[in-house]
Amino acid sequence: MKLLEKELKNLLRKHPALVEVLVHAQKLREFRLPDLAKSCGGVKTPIIRRYIRPFMKMNIIYRKEEGVYCFNDLFDSVISNILNQLNIILHTEKFLLMEDKRYYILLINKRKGIYVKRLDKKVIEAIQRNSQTLPREFSLKDLYTKLNMPKPLASLALKIMCLINIIEKKKVNNRIVYSFK
């Protein structure tokens, strides 16, 4: 069991997108691939098939009969322990947010796959420290121009800050604005 735990931790560290599939497979217990794909936010079935392949090699998921897959109950306690260690902050249909010592890891479920975005915690701390330089209600453009940061980085930081309830998102005059809570 210890060897499996170590191997699984390394796999999830290298490929964080597999965490989403593992969480849903554990919830469903017995499933068809389209069911798992639907519960993962509508990811295409062939992509889910590719994602469960490493778990099938480790015998965490096995094929019960033609088209039906099962989660192996023998490893339930090991996997629950590993998922608790991953510090999952938020899990919705489209997002899974994990916290590491230094990073926030955001998994975004889209039709063509599960995308992994990492953001250093120092970026969010810098935005909070410099919140006095921003207007009370600010846009994405205000953030990246006043704090002199790249636009994709600012956008990801705003998305994560909305998910962990540091700021709130509103639509005012057909413009998306953010404000600190």
Residues 79 and 31 occupy one common structural domain:
yes
Domain termination site, one of 64, 86, 108: 86
pLDDT of 2 strictly over 90: no
Residues 82 and 132 reside in one and the same domain: no
Confidence of residue 52 (pLDDT cuts 50, 70, 90): very high
pLDDT tens column, 3-27: 888 999 999 999 999 999 999 999 9
Spell out where the chain has E strands. 30-31, 61-65, 68-71, 88-91, 95-99, 103-110, 113-120, 167-172, 175-180
Residue 22: the pLDDT is 94
Last residue of a domain, one of 36, 68, 86: 86
Confidence of residue 137 (pLDDT cuts 50, 70, 90): very high
71 belongs to a structural domain: yes
Q: Per-residue pLDDT for 67 more than 90?
A: no
Tell me the pLDDT of the chain averaged across its residues.
93
Give me the pLDDT at residue 181, please: 86
Does 1 score more than 80 pLDDT? no
Q: Judge contact between 45 and 106, C-beta under 8 A.
A: no
Q: Residue 65's pLDDT band (boundaries 50, 70, 90)?
A: confident
Partners of residue 106 on adjacent β-strands: 97, 117
CATH code of the domain containing 70: 1.10.10.10
Looking at the structure, tell me whether residues 124 and 81 fall in a common domain.
no
Instruction: Please check whether residues 74 and 132 belong to one and the same domain.
Output: no
| Residue 80 sits in the same domain as residue 129 | no
**67 and 128 share a domain?**
no
**10 shares a domain with 71:** yes
Mean pLDDT of 118-125: 95
pLDDT in tens, 85-101: 999 999 998 999 999 89
Q: Is residue 100 part of a domain?
A: no
Residue 147 is assigned to a structural domain of this protein: yes
* Number of compact structural domains in the chain: 2
Which residue in 103, 11, 82 sits closest to 51, CA to CA? 11
**pLDDT for the residue numbered 46:** 96
Range of the domain at 163: 120-180
Shared-domain flag, residues 69 and 27: yes
Q: What is the pLDDT of residue 127?
A: 93
Q: Residue 95 falls within a domain, yes or no?
A: no
Lookup: tokens for 136 = 């009370």
Residues 71, 6 share a domain = yes
Examine the domain organization and report whether 63 and 129 are in the same domain.
no
Residue type, 31: F
| Whole-structure pTM value | 0.88
